[in-house]
Structure formats: C-alpha cells, structure tokens
A and B are shown apart, each in its own frame.
Chain A
Amino acid sequence: DTGVSQDPRHKITKRGQNVTFRCDPISEHNRLYWYRQTLGQGPEFLTYFQNEAQLEKSRLLSDRFSAERPKGSFSTLEIQRTEQGDSAMYLCASTTEGSTDTQYFGPGTRLTVL
C-alpha cells in the first residue's frame, strides 16, 4: 500500500493520560500535515513539517500537544494530559514540494477521551 497510513486507527483513553499517534506519509512526500476533525466539522490545520523541520503550528495546538518528524519520514503527534475536548479524528496528510496542493490524507486516528 503506497498511501498515507496512520496508527492506531482508534484510541480510547481516560482523561489525564498521554497518547501518541503515528503517521507514515507517502514515501516520496517531504511535506507532512496534521489536522484535527471534530464531528460535523471540516478538518482544521494543526501543524506542518517540511522534511524534519516543523514550520508552522496552529494556535489550536496547545502546550499539551507536541509533534515530531525526527528523520523526515514518519511523524508522531503526542497529547499529554488528555482532556475530553481532545476527542476528535486526527488526520495526517502528505504532499511533495512543488506539488499543486494535492494533499493526500490517511484514514485518521479516532481518539475518544473518557
């Protein structure tokens, strides 16, 4: 499968716990994006990497959120001290430099915070 993959697909956690999600982009794509989507809403931009550099973070990304892309390949998104308001679908997308904005999305990780 040459598409964007995300793991896990579903995560249920208790409030206050830490969670980490992983995204594997399409192999030749050097740009990677994280979005959050809540029920009945469109995806909202969280952060963006070009290779291993994190170039922008949305104000939606509070101090409890951290994202990394250590070798410019896969990326992780960690949420510390989860809150019920963090319950959402977390989507990863990738594209390649010089492309025409055609971001390809993974299946998402659905997070439920109890």
Chain B
Amino acid sequence: QKEVEQDPGPLSVPEGAIVSLNCTYSNSAFQYFMWYRQYSRKGPELLMYTYSSGNKEDGRFTAQVDKSSKYISLFIRDSQPSDSATYLCAMSGRGGYQKVTFGIGTKLQVIP
C-alpha cells in the first residue's frame, strides 16, 4: 500500500463547476500538507499549503485537512479552462528536513 493514495482521474468538468480533489494517506507522522499544480511537461507549482488539520482558503481554492480520517481535499470554485492540469497532493512530517511524499496526481480537464 502506498503512503499516499490519489485517484489519477481523468476528471472532466464544465467551466464554472466546483471541483473536488482528494487524497488519503497512511502515515500518521505527516504534519504538512500541500497541493501542487503541474501543467504538461512542466515542474510542479505550489498552490496551497496547510499545517496539521483545518481549512485554508486562497481565492478560488480551498484546502481541507482531516487528520483524524487521514484525508485531505482541494476544492476549486468557478473552475476555468486554465485550471486544466494535473493536481498533486503532497505531504511531509516534522524533523530536521522535510522529504515530501507525493500522490500520483489527478488529471483535471475543465471544458469551456
């Protein structure tokens, strides 16, 4: 079993829809939770960062972490065609350095 599980999709939604992306994890030591967006043939771009449980909102994006369920989510409101990309969840534990463990990524397509 992988430490981080993420549905690879693809997920197709019409423009303006609310998108929900999710990951589950098994390592209780994870404390930092991130979402990266990756366009084709580009490096990952950090979207959202959350420490421990809770919600964080940034514009059209909301990240949620439920450590009791080992479940994290990213919501995208009013989705745009430019949101079409692969979304990677990522997480790490506390310590002297932070090796990041990534999910497989969910490919999202927003249809105009």
Cβ of A41 under 8 Å from chain B: yes
Cβ of A21 under 8 Å from chain B: no
* Chain A positions within 8 Å of B36 at CB level: 105
Cβ of B49 under 8 Å from chain A: yes
Q: In the complex the two chains form, is A101's CB within 8 Å of B104's CB? A: no
* Chain B positions within 8 Å of A33 at CB level: 99-100
Q: For chain A, what secondary structure do more than half of its interface residues adopt (helix, strand, loop), or is it mixed?
A: strand
Residue tally, chain A, CB below 8 Å to B: 28
CA A105 to CA B105, docked complex, whole Å? 16
Interface residue ranges, B against A (CB under 8 Å): 4, 6, 8, 32, 34, 36, 41-46, 49, 51, 88, 90, 92, 97-105
Closest 10 CB pairs of A and B: A42-B102, A105-B43, A101-B32, A101-B98, A107-B43, A105-B44, A108-B43, A43-B102, A45-B99, A42-B104
A-B contact pairs, 18 of them (CB 8 A): A33-B100, A40-B104, A42-B88, A42-B102, A42-B105, A43-B102, A56-B97, A89-B41, A91-B43, A91-B44, A93-B100, A100-B32, A100-B49, A100-B51, A101-B92, A102-B49, A103-B98, A108-B43
